[in-house]
Structure 1
Amino acid sequence: MHELSIATAIVERADELARAQGTDAVAAVSVRVGELSGVVPEALDFAFEVARDGTALAAAKLVVERVPARAWCESCAEQFSVGVPPFFWCPRCDRPSTALRSGRELEITDIRPA
């Protein structure tokens, strides 16, 4: 389960950022997880609970914002959902698109001190 290594990295980075802000305890960490990131949010949540033990985030909550995969059609200027597995075919003009606008995100967006 690669979510454990991702959760460990989130805990380590959030701890660094919290200390840089002058706090030693974190109440919540917010992350954005794209639909095509390869990360299962439920597995990440479980892994976060394991990874946070014994750290400044021991009581912290993981807040996950799911980001849908969206593509952009340059032919007709339509933005559309690609789904999973991704289908990069514009529903408006019936042409292929390779411009992914969102869905690969995996980032910390906020750390709330305790």
Structure 2
Amino acid sequence: MHEMSLCESVLQVLETEAKRQQFHQVKTVWLEIGAMSGVEIEAMRFCFDVIVRNTLADGATLQVIEVPAEAWCLDCAQTVKIQQRYDTCPHCGSCQLQVIRGEEMRIKELEVA
């Protein structure tokens, strides 16, 4: 379950930013998670609650913003929505798609005190 190590990394970022920006409590964390990131959102929620216990984010709410996957078609020069890697272009049928969005996971916003 790599979601546990992802949550540990998120907590490390929170602790670093708390020192840098001088806040003491995290109330809400908004995470953007791409559809093709390989992250199981429900596992992420569970792990987040476990990892943040007895930390500055204890009791914080995790809000997940799901980012759809998109690719650029090299043949017809269109941005298209995809469901998985190696989908074909819905416009021209090409297999020449370059993923441009949907693989990321990032902290978008924090509510702190």
Is TM-score (shorter-chain normalized) higher than 0.5? yes
Aligned AA for 1:32?
Answer: E
Question: What residue number does 2:75 align with?
Answer: 75
Question: What residue number does 1:63 align with?
Answer: 63
Identical columns (%): 32
- Deviation per residue, 1:22-73 (Å, 9 max, x gap): 1110111111111111101111011000000010000211111111111111
Question: What residue number does 2:107 align with?
Answer: 108
SS at match of 2:100: strand
What pairs with 1:84-95 in structure 2 (closer than 5 Å)?
A: 84=84, 86-95=85-94
Question: What residue number does 2:98 align with?
Answer: 99
Q: d(CA) in 1 for partners of 2:94 and 2:56?
A: 50
Q: TM-score when scaled to structure 2?
A: 0.91
Question: What residue number does 2:27 align with?
Answer: 27
State the shift of 1:19 in Å.
2.6
Are the counterparts in 2 of residues 27 and 113 from structure 1 also a CA contact under 8 Å? yes
SS at match of 2:43: helix
Aligned AA for 2:12?
Answer: E
Q: d(CA) in 1 for partners of 2:18 and 2:75?
A: 45
Task: Say how many residue pairs are matched.
Answer: 113
CA RMSD in angstroms, aligned pairs only: 1.3
Aligned AA for 1:71?
Answer: A
Q: TM-score when scaled to structure 1?
A: 0.91
